[in-house]
Amino acid sequence: MDFTINQATQEKLDTINEFLHEEVYPLEKLFLSHQWDELFPALEQCRKLIKKLGLWAPNMPVETGGTFTNLMDLALIGEVLGQSPLGHFIFGCQAPDAGNSELLHLFGTDAQKEKWLKPLVAGEIRSCFAMTEPHTAGSNPTLLDSSAELKDGMWHINGRKWFTTAAEGADFTIVMVVTDSDAQKHQRASMIIVPTATEGFEIIRNISVMGATGKGYFSHAEIEFNDCKVPQNYILGQVGTGFALAQERLGPGRIQHCMRWLGIGERCINISKQFLNQRKISSSQVLAQQPLMQAQIAESLAELAAARLMVLQTAWSIEQNGFQKSKNMVSLIKFHTANVVQRVVDRSLQSLGGLGMTDDTVISFFYREERAARIYDGADEVHKIVAAKQFLKS
Ligand SMILES: Cc1cc2nc3c(=O)[nH]c(=O)nc-3n(C[C@H](O)[C@H](O)[C@H](O)COP(=O)(O)OP(=O)(O)OC[C@H]3O[C@@H](n4cnc5c(N)ncnc54)[C@H](O)[C@@H]3O)c2cc1C
């Protein structure tokens, strides 16, 4: 395994880092104080600049309008972008649009690609992904019971979903529903594209998550489908392939989540570093000279470095051997990195004292928002079970 970063990639990473410092970090004040009316136009301006710089949609192939090169490069870009909660959105590679674009690219018909993939990759529209339900366990999605029935060439969709991230303002959702309740459990469900303007699609509320309801892209909705009708050909892939498609969507996407979390950890430890180096704790010493603080920093650095190696090795393995053969490693990095970043964010917050609790730095946002890293895309326990079972039977 070669860890050399080639010159072209390094230059790209440097440009992105510079852009974050100059254009993106200054916008975080608006974000952290929920000044959405000022924030959204500023984000659009940044997106235009990124397109001009030829850095747009690094997750999508060039023929779809993106600038993808390879998974390792994408992982490294994701790490840099993760340093700001606004990074991925500004570069057009944000969840859940990234996963939906990849699904449409792999499984969409030509007509679906023209109608939804093209404008989605171009950043002209947004989307969301509705799988989890409030009343069934998301950890075992074979239990989901929202349904779609085919009558006279139309899917009639009924059911309730929640934690549909970024539903407010999205143009369409990809919904996972039971299309054949009598089929074998992994063939019961399908994915269907539903334009959000369709009658019967309703956002019930933006869910308050640890005190914040967010807005637009930065929100999580509870939604209802009430005899919501879409044409038969809005199905994605074949009838009954919902679970297979979900694996395709979530699998490699976990590399992106992990690298983004590492970026978050690195940003937090750097904010902590600045504070520790200037905070006087006595007439002759700053906090950075305190051994207890040094130990905390060392633990965070070691944990980040080890997790980073695991994630990059997994990305490399996916490139060499494919996702199926790397599945176990993906489960290991998902829960391990989520826990590492939680500890690093927590230590960084602690090092800032009262300032850490305020929204004057981005650390409190990461502390609140990224607690969910141990829950979404498979809770810790689920990934531990998958990895351990695989090891025990091998
Ligand atoms: C911020 C955020 C954003 C999200 N975005 C989306 C989205 O865009 N679209 C979408 O469809 N969903 C989304 N989700 C939902 C997410 O995928 C689910 O919350 C997750 O799959 C867990 O399902 P659940 O909440 O129903 O928990 P449950 O399945 O009810 O599990 C509850 C807890 O039980 C434990 N557990 C589960 N299974 C086992 C087991 N077998 N053994 C031992 N313990 C177990 C875990 O600790 C788990 O946290 C999001 C969630 C969050 C928090």
pLDDT tens string 109-120: 999 999 999 999
Q: Tell me which of 162, 375, 377, 380 to substitute to probe ligand 1's pocket, judged by most ligand atoms within 8 Å of the beta carbon.
A: 375
Tell me if 131 sits within 8 A of 161, measured CB to CB: yes
- Return the amino acid letter for 158: N
Based on the domain organization, do 264 and 385 belong to the same domain? yes
Q: Do 11 and 79 fall within a single domain?
A: yes
162 and 272 share a domain?
no
Confirm or reject: Cβ of 13 under 6 Å from ligand 1: no
How many CA within 13 A on the CB side of residue 304? 26
Task: Look at residues 225, 245, 265 and tell me which one is the last residue of a structural domain.
Answer: 245
CATH number of the domain enclosing 203:
2.40.110.10
Q: Do residues 371 and 349 share a domain?
A: yes
pLDDT tens figures, 164-184: 999 999 999 999 999 999 999
β-partners of residue 158 are: 147
**109 part of a folded domain:** no
Tell me the pLDDT band of 361, cut-offs 50, 70 and 90: very high
Q: Are both 68 and 135 inside the same structural domain?
A: no
The Å distance, Cα 379 to ligand 1 centre, comes to 6
Phi, psi at 310, each rounded to 5°: -60, -45
Both 256 and 239 in a single domain?
no
pLDDT band at 58 (very low <50, low <70, confident <90, very high): very high
24: domain CATH number is 1.10.540.10
Q: Is 379 in the pocket of ligand 1 (CB under 6 A)?
A: yes
Domain extent, residue 45, equals 7-94
- The region that residue 222 occupies, defined by phi over 0 for left and psi between -120 and 50 for alpha, beta otherwise, is beta
List pLDDT tens digits, range 2-30.
778 999 999 999 999 999 999 999 999 99
Q: How close is the Cα of 132 to the center of ligand 1, in Å? A: 8
Structural domains in the chain (count): 3
Residue 217 phi, psi dihedral angles, 5° rounding: -55, -35
Residues in the chain: 394
> Measured from the CB, is residue 139 less than 6 Å from ligand 1?
yes
> Where residue 297 sits, what CATH number does that domain have?
1.20.140.10
Looking at the fold, whether 259 and 240 belong to one and the same domain comes out as no
Is 117 contained in some domain?
Answer: no
Domain final position from 186, 220, 245: 245
User: Which tokens is 372 given?
Assistant: 């969910």
Residue 218 lies in a domain: yes
User: For ligand 1, is residue 163 a contact (CB within 6 Å)?
Assistant: yes
Domain shared by 202 and 188, yes or no: yes
Exposed, middle or buried, 26 (CB in 10 Å: 0-12/13-18/19+)? exposed
- C-beta neighbour count of 157 within 10 angstroms: 25
E-assigned strands of 7-153? Answer: 127-130, 147-151
- Helix, strand, coil percentages in the chain from 3-state DSSP, rounded to 5: 55, 15, 30
Q: What is the pTM of this model?
A: 0.96
Q: How confident is the model at residue 303 (pLDDT cuts 50, 70, 90)?
A: very high
Q: What is the torsional sign of CA 195, 377, 301, 30?
A: positive
* Residues 259 and 374 reside in one and the same domain: yes
Same domain, 269 and 348: yes
